[in-house]
Every structure is written in C-alpha cells, then in structure tokens.
Amino acid sequence: MTLEHYLIAAGILFCTGLFGMIVRRNILVIFMCLELILASATLTLVAFSRFRLTSGLPDIDAQMLVFFVITVAAAEVAVGLAIIVSLYRSTQSVHMEDLHTLKG
C-alpha cells in the first residue's frame, strides 16, 4: 500500500474527529474526538517514518516523537478529565451551553 492511502485514512480520521468536536455537546465526547485527532496525527507520523528510511531503517526520531506524543496525551487526558470533574461539580452539567463564564 502506498503512503497516500495512509495519509488519506489519517485525514478521514482527523475530519471525523473535527466534525465530532464541533457537533457534539457533551464535553467528554468532545474530549474523545480530540483523542481521535491525536491518533490520526500519530498515524501520519508513523507512516512518514516508515516511508523515509534513514540508513535502511525506518526513521527512529519520528517514532520517538510519537512515543512522546502518546505519553503527553495520556497526561493531558488525566488532567483534562480532572478539570471536567471539578467543572461538573461546580455546574452540575457537562453540556457546553452552560459553560460560558469565560465570556470576553
């Protein structure tokens, strides 16, 4: 399979994630769609790492980047969920319409 296929697949995944974030009202689902977008990004990275070989092997630095992305994403999810919990505790709701206190 060519790189193009992988890129298109990742692109579709990215768009569904974006669509999901814009459409869904529930903040947790939005968060999941965010994870989707992250996954599509890592997929593209790995695809390019495999495509561009450095001295015969897939580019290891790209995979390092993916490795760090994954770890950071994990931390981010943890903190995000904690915020959502405290948010929920203060506003008793997870729907986006109620969360506009940071209005300009």
Residue 88 CA to residue 47 CA, distance in Å, equals 39
Output the smallest distance, CB 41 to another protein, in A.
11
Contact 34, 76 (CB under 8 A): no
Query: If you search the block for the tokens 């992250």, which residue do you land on?
Result: 38
Output the smallest distance, CB 59 to another protein, in A.
10
- Angle, CA 50 vertex, CA 49 and CA 56 arms, to 5°: 100
Output the smallest distance, CB 84 to another protein, in A.
7
